[in-house]
Amino acid sequence: MSKYQHSSMYCYPDSDVLINHFNLMDDEKLKELEKVYTLFRLSELKINKPANPVDMEAFLAIHQYILQDVYPFAGELRKEMISKGTSSFAHPKFIEPELHKIFAELAAEDYLKDLPRERFIQRLAYFLAELNALHPFREGNGRTVREFARQLAINAGYQLDWEKIPGPAEIINAFVDSFNANNNRLENLLDEIIS
């Protein structure tokens, strides 16, 4: 069964497998390969100096960098509707204008620099919730949003370590709550991993 509950322009015909640089038609093998390559690229980003500011162009560049080895759509905004479970994400025609609004707001707040820790956590949770609700990419949204948050935190004088979270369910549940207009769990999670 398709993860996104419908056929996709990003998949091979008559398949739920995303078109990829390796022409793999086995979804399990593709996911294994994707994990190896994206972990490698994320580790490279951790040793490089982050973009400053982490603006919209930097956000798109993060996605492109993480998924460049696997998918031809790396760094591109999605052009079709997607959903997971009961959550439908933003219509493609709204993605770019909404991203511009989010990043204009982030710029107006000086990319969260010089904020006290509690306020930084609240505002970071807000921006992460907004980006998650958009789900601007066909694949790799969570990894891109988490790396974006890590780089934004560094530039604001904080360290953010997602690896302190014992399992992905905690992160997923926090983002599900934020999708339903409740950032409490996401703020609590960020409070545990920001120093």
From first to last of its 195 residues, the chain has per-residue pLDDT tens of: 444 445 799 999 989 999 999 999 999 999 999 999 999 999 999 999 999 999 999 999 999 999 999 999 999 999 999 988 888 899 999 999 999 999 999 999 999 999 999 999 999 999 999 999 999 999 999 999 999 999 999 999 999 999 999 888 889 889 888 888 889 999 999 999 999
pTM of the model: 0.93
Q: Would you list the domain boundaries of the chain? A: 27-193
27-193 maps to CATH 1.10.3290.10:
yes
The single residue listed with the structure tokens 């419908």 is 6
Residue 104, φ and ψ in degrees, nearest 5: -65, -40
Q: Are 28 and 128 in contact (CB under 8 A)?
A: no
What's the chain's length in residues? 195
Would residue 14 be called left, alpha or beta, if left means φ above 0 and alpha means ψ between -120 and 50 degrees? left
The 3 state secondary structure assigned to 129-172 is HHHHHHCCCCCCHHHHHHHHHHHHHHHCCCCECHHHCCCHHHHH
